[in-house]
Amino acid sequence: MLRHVSFKLHKGEILTLIGPNGAGKSTLLKLALGLLRPTGGTLWRKPDMVIGYMPQKLEVDASLPMTARRFIELGLRPDLPPDPFWLDQTGVSQWLDRPLQGLSGGQLQRTLLCRALLRQPDLLVLDEPLQGVDVQGQAFLYRLLAEARERIGCAILMVSHDLHLVMAQTDQVLCLNGHVCCSGTPESVQAHPAYRELFGLDEDTFAIYRHHHDPTRCDHDGGHHD
Partner 1 sequence: MTELLLTLTATGVVLALTSGLLGVFVVWQKQAYFGATLAHTALLGVALGLLLQLDWQWMVILVALATGWGVHWLLGHTRLAADTLLGILAHTTLAVALVLLSHAPVTFSLDSFLFGDILAVTRADLWTALGLLALTGLFVARNWRALLNLTLNEELAFAEGVPTRRVRLMLILLLALVIALSIKLVGVLLITSLLILPPAAARHFSRTPEQMLAGSMAIATASVVGGLALSWQLDWPAGPAIVVTATGFFLLALPFRR
Which residues in this chain contact partner 1 in the complex, by CB under 8 A? 30, 33-35, 51, 53, 55, 58-61, 63-66, 70-71, 74-75, 78, 119, 125
Q: What angle do CA 219, 221, 226 make, to 5 degrees?
A: 130
Q: How far is the CB of 15 from partner 1 (least distance, A)?
A: 17
Tell me how far apart the alpha carbons of residues 81 and 91 are, in angstroms, rounded to a whole number: 17
Q: Which residues pair with 184 in a beta bridge?
A: 173
Decide whether 109 or 183 has the Cβ nearer to partner 1.
109
Q: What is the DSSP letter of 67?
A: B
Decide whether 53 or 142 has the Cβ nearer to partner 1.
53
Tell me how far apart the alpha carbons of residues 141 and 139 are, in angstroms, rounded to a whole number: 5
Tell me how far apart the alpha carbons of residues 69 and 190 are, in angstroms, rounded to a whole number: 41
Residue 113 phi, psi (nearest 5): -65, -40
Q: How far is the CB of 65 from partner 1 (least distance, A)?
A: 5
Q: How far is the CB of 117 from partner 1 (least distance, A)?
A: 13
Decide whether 112 or 175 has the Cβ nearer to partner 1.
112
Q: How far is the CB of 222 from partner 1 (least distance, A)?
A: 27
